[in-house]
A and B are shown apart, each in its own frame.
Chain A
Amino acid sequence: MGSTTRLAALVQMEFFRFWRLLRQTIVPPVLNTLLFILIFGFSLGSRIKEIHGFPFIVYIIPGLTAMGVMNNAFSNTSTSLHMAKFDRSLDNLLAAPLKPFEMVLALVTGGIARGLLIAILTLAVALPLLKQPLFSFWLTLYFVVMQSVFFGCWGIIGALRAKTWDNLATTQTFVITPLAYLAGVFYSVTILPPPWREISLFNPLFYMVDGTRYGVLGVHDAPLWISAGMITGLAILLFAVCVWLFQIGYKMVR
């Protein structure tokens, strides 16, 4: 009973922050996606032939959605935790009878909420182009949630390690964004020449983009069970790492 109350308070706090910053957090990624669709879809896309039977502009929608989810889940948890470190309110949480699992779960829930919202908005904006319903609502939901967990946890780890805001921005700019591009947001990895195709398989983000594409369009490069297994395994693993870091008080306890 006490646990529910504690968790509810933590989650509400996360949502409070998130709603307060809604305009800053929601509008840019959706605008970003729209720009991508305009630039790559309409202007350049007509020169590119269909991929897996879909026009280029439609083919890139799931990838763009996934990229928005990844970046936003990461931002949400990392910003929240970094701010708490910055104003030292993290110390107040750490001195309270909150379990590591509860703290991580609350942060990740915030990340999932933001990831979901971005996914819904992006798809809502892009679906008219698709001219068909989602291939599988539940698969799409599953992949979006799992990506949010993975990137939410990554954001937590990033914020714990980060000394400055720049450290977090660096991760997003130099690690997450390139990995997302290389994961096949704009192309099918099957069109890559030999070494690159195999190398792509080592990029965990490939499975997230591919799985999301399966959910939205019903086409994929890797078998579904591998994508689903990969993302589920990685999400659970990172979540466990986060709980462990809170347990040992990594960079939190002096």
Chain B
Amino acid sequence: MNAITIEGIEKSYGKTVQALKGITLNIPQGEFFGLLGPNGAGKTTLISAIVGLVKPNAGEIRVMGCDIRKNPTEAKKYIGLSPQDININNYMPIGKIMEFQGGFYGVSVKESRRRAEELLKYFKLWDKRKAGRYQLSGGMQRRLMIARALMGKPKILILDEPTAGIDVELRHELWTFLKQLKEKGITILLTTHYIEEAERLCEKIGIIHQGKIIACESPLKLIEQHRLHEKAERSGAFQFVRSGSLEEVFVALTGRPIEEASKKSGEEKWEALPASLL
């Protein structure tokens, strides 16, 4: 059985913005899948549709075989979500946030306490368990959201740009952690606009651009296929990017480097936050 099955998902916001233009995607259980695309490509919209926060205009999504629209409670049980936008309760200490999160997923109080302690310690937030959201740095809030996503013992972990706005060191730590989770058999769906992140972590990468999946392969295959393609065209136009890299594949497929494509929407400001903020 697939962990996530997506069939022909379309989504428009209002009349003008067509965020998703027919996305079909299968993520088998245990896979580490990366959704790579610039800002505005439709990654968050797709993730939100998977957990039922966005209602698609067409198409179907199944999580471990459960239709998210017909059987939402069942489908959501399998998922832990760390969204792109911080959505941490403003008035509750984070220890409580973690415990209640376990409860929302049917984990007993005792077990929730134990898990909360374990996860908070792992994510170096245990000392802050009595603190509220506004006493946490941006990086800590990001870590908290990932820890919180794990409270419900998810079979599928969905991370929407988890490393946006956190420093390099932490990013690498997180990568190691995610690899360990994958070893434990958890299916991971990660969105990113960092090519390096997708390349290092993911077994399979779906490149999403303007609401469409324009390629979906393992990183190696993507690069290989592209090389052949490039040879056939005998094009020297992409010399400025690393040769034989995903970067190159991205440029070839979309016509420009991912950083440039991302910057257009101005969200990049977040990225430039000084590391001192941590």
Contact = CB atoms under 8 A, between A and B. Distances in A.
Nearest to A3: B106
A98 B76 CA distance: 9
B26 interface: no
A95 B53 CA distance: 7
Interface residues of B, number: 39
B89 interface: yes
Contact of A8 (B81, B91, B103): B103
Main secondary structure of the interface of A (DSSP, over half): helix
Nearest to B158: A95
A92 B48 CA distance: 11
A35 to B, nearest CB: 29
Q: Among B72, B88, B109, which residue has the most Cβ atoms of chain A within 10 A? A: B72
B64 to A, nearest CB: 12
Contacts of A6: 103-106
B142 to A, nearest CB: 14
27 contacts: A5-B106, A5-B107, A6-B103, A6-B104, A8-B109, A9-B99, A9-B103, A9-B104, A16-B92, A16-B96, A17-B92, A86-B90, A87-B89, A88-B85, A91-B87, A92-B83, A92-B87, A93-B104, A94-B52, A94-B53, A95-B83, A97-B72, A97-B74, A97-B76, A249-B52, A249-B55, A254-B48
Interface of A: 1-3, 5-6, 8-10, 12-13, 16-17, 20, 83-84, 86-99, 249, 253-254
A-B interface, 8 closest residue pairs, ranked by CB to CB distance from nearest: A9-B103, A2-B106, A88-B87, A97-B76, A96-B104, A87-B90, A89-B89, A95-B51
Given A5-B106, A5-B108, A20-B91, 19 more contacts: A6-B105, A13-B92, A16-B92, A84-B89, A87-B90, A89-B90, A92-B89, A94-B52, A94-B53, A95-B76, A95-B81, A95-B83, A97-B75, A97-B106, A97-B152, A98-B104, A99-B73, A249-B52, A254-B54
